[in-house]
Structure 1
Amino acid sequence: MFGIGKFGIAVGALSLASTAAFALPKATDLVEPMGMGYNIGNTMEVPENPTGWGNPLPTAAYIKAIKAAGFNTVRIPCAWYSHSDALAKDIAAYGGTADNSTYKHVGKDASFTTPTIDGAWLAQVKEVVDMIIAEGMYAVLNSHWDEGWLEDRVYDGTANPRSGAGDITNSSATTKARQAAYWKQIATYFKDYDEHLLFAGANEPAVNDPWGASGQWAFDDSRMQILKGYYEAFITSVRSAGGNNDTRTLIVQAPRTEMDNAPMLSTNWPTDPAGAGYMMAEVHYYPYQYSLMTADEDWGKQFYYYTGLSSTTDTEHNMGWNVYSNSIDNNALGTPNQIKKAFGELKTMFCDKGIPVIIGELGAIKRTGQITDAANLKLHLQGRALFYGEVAKNAKANGIVPYVWDTGAENDGNMTIITRQKGTYSILDPDVLNALQKAYGQEGNNQSNLDSLVNENEVPETEAGKGVLVTYATKTSDSSEVGTLRINLSGTKKDLSQYVGIEIRLKGSVETAGGCTGAGEGCGEYGWTSMDLFMMTGGSWAWFDAPVMEQANQELDASAFQKIQVKWDDFRTAPTDLNDANAIGLNLYGTQVTGTITFDYIAGIKADGSTEIIDDFDKKPQLEGTASGKVVALGGTGDIGSNAIRPVRAASSKMLVSVRPGSVTASFSAATAGMASATLMNFMGQVIDQKNFNASKGANSVELQSNYRGAAMLIVKQGSQRYAQKVLLK
C-alpha cells in the first residue's frame, strides 16, 4: 500500500482511490517521504466563499508549482460548517430566517447536531485533494476556524470566548456531536484514498480566547477534557467510516497549537480504536515579535534582524532584544537556541513515543515597508531566509514535518513563496525557498531577489532632490480599500505642538472606474476616492484625521507640484497630545482606484507661516494596503498622468471603513432591515472580534474592538449583501 507507485499516475485522477483491505503504513513511515510542507492558506477555509479573501481556487498548475519548488506535502485548511445545512438550522433556532445567511452559529447555542455537508463542496475539496495526490504529494485535510463553531467553543456554559462578542452559551455535547457528524461524512467520502490523504481534526482550538489584565483566558485541565472529547469524536467517526479509514493517519492539535501547551496534549492523548501508531500531533510556530508583531510596545520591540545577522545601527530591533536589560537574550523565542531546544522537547514528548509531529503553520512577515535603510533591509531579508532554514533544519533533524504558511498576498508583510493571484505561479521569495530546500538536501539555487527588493527602497545617495512615488491600485470592484503612507515619528519631530498645521507638497493623478472624479449624481455607479491626513498621538495612540483636498478646496495636478495646507482646526476632532505624536500620514480611500502620486515632503506649519520639514522622503516611508512605491529623484519621475482627484461622495452600496487605534468602524447601506454580522480576523483565520447586530434599512455603522495590530480582514454581511475588505489595524 505504501507509495504512489501502485496507482500509476498516468492513469489519471480516477486511479487515486485504493480499495485494499490491508492496514496503511504507520504514521512514522510517512514522515520522511512527506518531507517539507506548504499551506494553501486563505482559500478553502474562507467561510462560504473560497475566493472571498482574494485568492483563486487552486489549479493544477499551482499544485505543480508547489511540487516543483521541492514540497512533498500540502496542508488544506478547510471550512465545513459554512458549507452545511447547519447554517440555516442555526439561524432558525434563534429566530432568524433561512435567507438571513449572515447570522451565524456565533452568539447563541443551537440544538441541531446532525448537519449535512453540501455535496458540491465535497466535490470541490476532492478536486484539490486529487490534484495534490496526482503529483505524488501528501494532502493534510483539516477543519479550520470556519466561524468558530468548534474552535471558539472549547468550554461548557456561558462565557465570552471572543473579546467584544458578548456572552455565548455553549454545550460541548452539541459541538462534539457536530464534530462527529462532519467527520463521518468527510471520512466516508474519502474512504478509499490511501495513506497520501491525512485528516486533522481542528486548527487552533481556543486561540481566539480573549486577553484580559491577567493575560489570555486560562486553558486548564477541565477545558482539555472537553477538547479531548472533540478529538475522540473525530477519531471514532473516521475509524467507523470504512475503507482505509481504519488505519488512516489522523492529526490532533495542542491547545491553541502552542508549543507551551504541547505537554497538556501529551498527557491527555486521545484514545484511537486503531491502536498505537496511526496518529500525529500538531503545533504551530510563529515567534510573535519576529513573525507577526507590527508595532513596538513598551514591553518589547519588533525583531527585524535574525541572530547572526544583527544590525549595528538599529540594535533595538535585533532578535532577542530585551527592553528591560537593554541587551540580547540569545534564548528568546525564535532564536536558534530556542528552536533547537523546543523541537528537541517535541521529539522527546511525541516522536520518541511513535507519535510524529507536524508544524502545521510557520512563517515570518516580510518587512520591506518598515525598514527604510538599505543595509538594514538586506540584513532583514537575509535573516528571514536564515530563520526559515533554522526551523526546517531542526524539524528534519527531529522527525518533524514543517508546513510554511502562505496567504497568497504579495504586498509588504506577506509570507508568500509562490505567486497565484495573477494566474502565474512564479517564485516570489527565492531566498526563503533556497533555505528550505537546502535544509532538505535539495540544491536551493533559485535566483535571489534580495538586491532588487533593497534597490526599490532607495535611490543612490549622490542623487539630490528625492521624493517618494506612490502607486495606488485597488483589487476589488465592490468594496472600499485604503492605501496608506505612514511616517513613524521619532526624536524632536515627535513634538508637533510647535506647529499650527501640516503642509504637503505633491503632484499626481488618481482616477476611478468610469472616469468618475467629480461629485455628480452618476459617481456612485462607478468608483470614488478621497484623501485624508491622519495622525496618532499619546500613550493611547489617539486617532485624528482631516480631509485633504476637500478642506483645501484643491484638486491634484499631474504636471506640477503644489502645496496643500491642513490646519489643526481643519481636523474632524481637534488633535490632543500634539507634543507626543507617534505617527502621521496620508490615507487614500476609494473603490476601483488607480493612479500615482509623488510626495516631495510633509512639513509642519509654524505660527509665523514658515514651514519645517518633518519628512522629505529621502528614504521610503511605510506603505500599506493599496499603496506601493519607491524613492525617486525628483524631476525624473516622468509624466504621471493628467486626471485629477477630487473628493466625492461614496456610493450608497459600498462600505466605508475607518480604522483607529483599538477599533474599526464600518459604514454601509442595507437594502432591508434585518440581522447582520461583522467579523474581524487576521490572515491566519483567527477571529479578532465579531458582532451580531440589527441593521436598519439605509445607512448603518458597526464598530469592532481590537488590540491587534497589522493586516486583517473585515467582513460585514446582511441579508444577501456581503462586504469584505482588508484593513490595517493600528
Structure 2
Amino acid sequence: MFGIGKFGLVFGALSLASTAAFALPKATEIYPDMGLGYNIGNTMEVPGNQGGPTGWGNPFPDAAYVKAIKDAGFNTVRIPCAWDSHASNGTINAGWLDSVKTVVDLVINNGMYAILNSHWDGGWLEDHVFDGEGYDKTGLVNSSAATVAAKQESYWKQIATKFAAYDEHLIFASANEPGVNDPWNGGADNGQWAFDENRMKVLKQFHEACIKAVRSTGGNNATRIVVVQAPRTEIDKSPLLASMYPEDPAGAGYTMAEIHFYPYQFSLMTSGDESWGKMFYYWEDQTPGNDAAHTCSGSALGSKKSIDELFSGLKSRFYDNGIPVVIGEMGAVKRLSLTGDNLKAHLKARAAWYGYTVASAKKNGLVPCVWDTGDEGDGNFTIIRRQVNKFGGNVGDITDVETLNSMREAYGQAALPGNSIDSLVNQNPDIPEGEGKGILVTYATKTSDSSEVGTLRINLSGTKKDLSQYVGIEVRLKGEVASAGPCTGAGDGCGDFGWTSMDLFMMTGGSWAWFDAPVLQQADQELNASKFQTIQVKWEDFRTEPADLNSANAIGLNLYGTQVTGTITFDYIAGIKADGSIEIIDDFDKKPGLEGTATGKVVALNGTGDIGSNAIRPVRAASSKMLVSVRPGTVTASFSAATAGMASATLMNFMGQVIDQKTFSASKGANSVELQSNYRGAAMLIVKQGSQRYAQKVLLK
C-alpha cells in the first residue's frame, strides 16, 4: 500500500533507499492517534483445519462490518490471525495471504490502525515456550526452541514481504498469549508450570526472530512497529519482559509491549462459586447492595484500586521508557443467566467497568483493545453484531450501547442513542418470590437443507460436579417442536423434509470427554404440549457409558434437526439415585447456557408445574393424524386424504438419509402405504399428499 502517512509521504519498499531518511514514526508518536481498540475475534485466527474464518460462526469481515467498527468510535483494530494451519512445507498459502490482506485493507482504508498478530493456531509456538524438556497440554514433551524460532522467522519474513509497502497504520504483533496453556501440574505460578527467567530467554528469542525477519525485508518494515508480548500476557509477568526486553536492529522506539486484561472472577468465571472465591456479577457501586460477596471492589483484581495500580506499574515499566503498551484483549462476559434487577445491575456494572478500565488505560499510555467474539448468547463479549443469520438485525448493529458509550466517554466522544440493557432485562424478567421456575426454550433453525443444533447447557460446579452418586438423569419437560418450517417444500426453495431429535449429553474429566444418549428418538418418549412428563436416561442408555462421573463438567440437551420450529419448557434436570429417588441438579433459578438454534427465558411455573400467567406460552403446531404400525422390516402408515391424487411416503433416519421412499396414488378418504426397512432405531416417517403433510417419529425394529 502506498499513501500519505501521518508524518509525510511514505514510499514503497522499492523506493526506500535509506531507513534513516524515511523512517516510519516511533511508537510514542503514533500512540496518541491509536485511540480505542477492537478485536475481530473468533475469525481470522480460527485454524484452517477448523474451518478457517467462518469455522466458529462468524462471517468473513466485510466493508459494512469494518465501517461499523470505525463508526462506533474505534481507531485501532487487532486482527488475531492463524498462519501455521494455512501453510504447507513452511510456506504460507498465497490465497490466505490475500485473504488477510483484504481485511487489513478494509481496516486501513477506514482510517484505522491494524495490529496483525500471530495467534494460537494449534499452539505451535504459544504452547512451546521452552527449550528441551517441558510441558504442553499433552504432557511432558521435548521442544527445540531453535526450531520454533526458525519457523517464527520464516513466517514473519513471508508476512512482512507481503505488506512491506504499507505505512505506519499497519503494526505487527509477534505472538498472542505465549505460555498461557501451560498445564496445571503444581507449578509455582498458581499451579501452572513456572514461567521463569530461563523461559523468558526462550520467549525473547521468539520475539527477536519476528523482529529480525520483519527488519530484514527492508522498506517500511525497517522501522515498522512490532508488538511483543509479556509471558502469558499477564501483567504480573510483565517485569520479566521489561528486564529481558527483545533487541531491535532498528534501535529504540519501534516496538510496543502487550498484556491482556481479564480479571478472572469478574471477567471469565462462570462455573460457579468456589471455596477460594466467588463469581463477581457486580462492580464497585454498581451493585444491588445486598450481595457484597459477588461484587468486585476494594483491592479485588478488577476493582478501581487494582486497575490503577496495575496500569500505573505498566506505565512506569514501559511507557515512561518509550514503549507504549497494547492491552491486546480485555473484557468481561455478559452473565445472561441473571434475571430482572440483578441482570440490570450486572449490565450496568459491566458498562462502568469497561469505561473505567479504558480511561485508566488511556491515562497510563496503554491502547485498550476490547475482545469481541460475534456470539450473543450467555457469556458473550459482543458489542458489534456480525451473526445476523443467527441473531437477526443488521451487520454493524450495536448490541451493547451502554458499554460502548462508557468507553466513548473516556475518549471524549458523544454518546450514541439506544438502550441495550432494558431490552435484555425485559427478555429475562424477575420471577415473583415463591413461584417455581423453569426455562422456556424456543428452537428455530435458520437453514432448510442442513442439520442445525440448539443447545441447553448447564455448567456444573462444586458438589454438582460429582454425578457418581446417581444411576442416571431425569428431565421434566413439556412442549412441541415441528419439523415443517421455516419452509415446507421444494417449491419454497428448500428441502422436502424436516426432521428432529434430542440427545442428553455430558462432558466429564480433565479432557472434557463427550458422552450422549437419545432422548426424543424413542417412540414412547414423544413430547406432550399440554402437560409435563418426565424422561429418564440411565448411564447404560448412553451410546458409550460415561466415565469420570465424579468430575462432571457440564450436562445438557441438544435438539438436532432441519426445518425445526417450536418451544419446550424444562422444569428441572435431576440425578436418579439407586433407590429411584431424585435430587435436583438444576431447576433453572438462573438461565442456563443456550446456543445455536435455541433461545429462551426463565419463566414462572405454578404449583402444578404449569407456566404462570406472566410467561409466554408455547405455540402449539397444527397436529396431523396418521396411524403407524411398525413390524420387523416394515412400516405401515394409515391416513385420510381430502382428495384423490398422487402421494409420497418417505422413511428417513435421523441423519437425514432416506431408508425407503414410495410414490403412490391416494384415494379420497382412508389410505395406507407400506415401506420396507432393514434399519433398526429411530426414524422419521413423512407422508405428503396435495397440501396435506403428515410426519411422525417411529422406532424401527
Per the normalisation by structure 2, the TM-score is: 0.74
Cα deviations by residue, 1:48-105 (Å, 9 ceiling, x for unpaired): 121111111111111100000000010111111122223xxxxxxxxxxxxxxxxxxx
Cα deviations by residue, 1:201-256 (Å, 9 ceiling, x for unpaired): 11111111111134111111111111111111111111121111111111100011
Cα deviations by residue, 1:252-280 (Å, 9 ceiling, x for unpaired): 00011111110000011111111111110
For 2:149, the equivalent position in structure 1 comes to 176
Contact 2:441 2:567 in 1 (8 A): yes
Cα deviations by residue, 1:190-209 (Å, 9 ceiling, x for unpaired): 11111111111111111111
Contact 1:472 1:593 in 2 (8 A): no
Cα drift, residue 314 of structure 1? 3.7
Contact 2:318 2:324 in 1 (8 A): yes
Map 1:372-411; keep pairs closer than 5 Å: 372=339, 374-411=340-377
Matched, 1:220 2:190: no
Q: Distance in 1 between matches of 2:578 and 2:146?
A: 68
Cα drift, residue 174 of structure 1? 1.3
Taking a change above 3 Å as real, the CA distance of residues 174 and 574 of structure 1, as seen in their structure-2 partners, is: closer
Cα deviations by residue, 1:458-489 (Å, 9 ceiling, x for unpaired): 26749989754211346787677451154979
Contact 1:529 1:593 in 2 (8 A): no
Contact 1:512 1:529 in 2 (8 A): no
Q: Distance in 1 between matches of 2:84 and 2:470?
A: 56
> Which stretch has the larger CA shift, 543-552 or 244-253?
543-552
Matched, 1:207 2:180: yes
Taking a change above 3 Å as real, the CA distance of residues 484 and 7 of structure 1, as seen in their structure-2 partners, is: farther
For 2:211, the equivalent position in structure 1 comes to 235
Cα drift, residue 651 of structure 1? 3.2
Residue 260 of structure 2 aligns to which amino acid in structure 1?
A: H
Matched, 1:265 2:241: yes
Cα drift, residue 282 of structure 1? 0.4
> Which stretch has the larger CA shift, 565-574 or 131-140?
565-574
Residue 314 of structure 2 aligns to which amino acid in structure 1?
A: L
Segments of structure 2 that go 5 or more residues without pairing to the other structure are 389-393, 489-494, 604-610, 629-651, 658-701
Contact 1:395 1:401 in 2 (8 A): yes
Taking a change above 3 Å as real, the CA distance of residues 507 and 271 of structure 1, as seen in their structure-2 partners, is: same
Map 1:325-344; keep pairs closer than 5 Å: 330-344=298-312
Of 637, 643, 646 in structure 1, the residue corresponding to residue 617 of structure 2 is: 637
Taking a change above 3 Å as real, the CA distance of residues 524 and 297 of structure 1, as seen in their structure-2 partners, is: farther
Taking a change above 3 Å as real, the CA distance of residues 19 and 596 of structure 1, as seen in their structure-2 partners, is: farther
Matched, 1:78 2:55: no
> Which stretch has the larger CA shift, 277-286 or 620-629?
620-629
Contact 2:428 2:601 in 1 (8 A): yes
Q: Distance in 1 between matches of 2:572 and 2:7?
A: 64
Q: Distance in 1 between matches of 2:653 and 2:346?
A: 42
3-state secondary structure, aligned to 1:141 = strand
> Which stretch has the larger CA shift, 593-602 or 296-305?
593-602
Q: Distance in 2 between matches of 1:503 and 1:35?
A: 51
Matched, 1:308 2:285: yes
Matched, 1:141 2:116: yes
Map 1:284-683; keep pairs closer than 5 Å: 284-295=260-271, 296-319=273-296, 330-369=298-337, 371-372=338-339, 374-422=340-388, 424-458=395-429, 461=432, 468-473=439-444, 481-484=453-456, 486=458, 502=474, 504-511=476-483, 528-532=500-504, 547-549=518-520, 553-558=524-529, 560-566=530-536, 572=542, 586-592=556-562, 594-599=564-569, 601-602=571-572, 621-626=591-596, 627-632=598-603, 634=612, 637=617, 639-642=619-622, 651=655
Cα drift, residue 561 of structure 1? 2.3
Q: Distance in 2 between matches of 1:556 and 1:574?
A: 25
Taking a change above 3 Å as real, the CA distance of residues 585 and 599 of structure 1, as seen in their structure-2 partners, is: farther
Cα drift, residue 152 of structure 1? 1.5
3-state secondary structure, aligned to 2:130 = coil
Contact 1:393 1:440 in 2 (8 A): yes
Taking a change above 3 Å as real, the CA distance of residues 513 and 218 of structure 1, as seen in their structure-2 partners, is: farther
Residue 368 of structure 1 aligns to which amino acid in structure 2?
A: L
Contact 1:2 1:195 in 2 (8 A): no
Contact 2:328 2:368 in 1 (8 A): yes
Residue 158 of structure 1 aligns to which amino acid in structure 2?
A: E
Contact 2:508 2:548 in 1 (8 A): no
- Give the length in aligned residue pairs: 594
Q: Distance in 2 between matches of 1:315 and 1:481?
A: 38
Taking a change above 3 Å as real, the CA distance of residues 331 and 561 of structure 1, as seen in their structure-2 partners, is: same
Cα drift, residue 287 of structure 1? 0.8
3-state secondary structure, aligned to 1:270 = coil
Matched, 1:128 2:103: yes
Which protein has greater RCO, CA pairs closer than 8 Å, 6+ apart? Answer: 1
Contact 2:525 2:535 in 1 (8 A): no
Cα drift, residue 623 of structure 1? 3.3
Q: Distance in 1 between matches of 2:222 and 2:473?
A: 71
Segments of structure 1 that go 5 or more residues without pairing to the other structure are 9-14, 87-114, 321-329, 517-522, 654-730
Q: Distance in 2 between matches of 1:447 and 1:511?
A: 36
Q: Percent identity?
A: 48
For 1:663, the equivalent position in structure 2 comes to none
Residue 478 of structure 2 aligns to which amino acid in structure 1?
A: L
Matched, 1:244 2:220: yes
Contact 1:431 1:448 in 2 (8 A): yes
Q: Distance in 2 between matches of 1:29 and 1:507?
A: 62
Taking a change above 3 Å as real, the CA distance of residues 153 and 467 of structure 1, as seen in their structure-2 partners, is: closer
Cα drift, residue 357 of structure 1? 0.5
Q: Distance in 2 between matches of 1:161 and 1:581?
A: 22
Say what the alpha-carbon RMSD is for the aligned residues.
Answer: 4.3
Cα deviations by residue, 1:333-375 (Å, 9 ceiling, x for unpaired): 1111000000000000000000110000001110012x23x11
> Which stretch has the larger CA shift, 622-631 or 455-464?
455-464
Contact 1:469 1:596 in 2 (8 A): no
> Which stretch has the larger CA shift, 141-150 or 607-616?
607-616
Per the normalisation by structure 1, the TM-score is: 0.72
Residue 509 of structure 1 aligns to which amino acid in structure 2?
A: V
Taking a change above 3 Å as real, the CA distance of residues 286 and 529 of structure 1, as seen in their structure-2 partners, is: same
Residue 480 of structure 2 aligns to which amino acid in structure 1?
A: G
For 2:56, the equivalent position in structure 1 comes to 53
Cα drift, residue 507 of structure 1? 1.7
3-state secondary structure, aligned to 2:249 = coil
Cα drift, residue 542 of structure 1? 12
3-state secondary structure, aligned to 2:153 = helix
Q: Distance in 2 between matches of 1:615 and 1:149?
A: 40
Contact 1:501 1:567 in 2 (8 A): yes
For 1:158, the equivalent position in structure 2 comes to 133
Taking a change above 3 Å as real, the CA distance of residues 172 and 467 of structure 1, as seen in their structure-2 partners, is: closer
Q: Distance in 2 between matches of 1:45 and 1:378?
A: 33
Q: Distance in 2 between matches of 1:478 and 1:300?
A: 43
> Which stretch has the larger CA shift, 626-635 or 428-437?
626-635
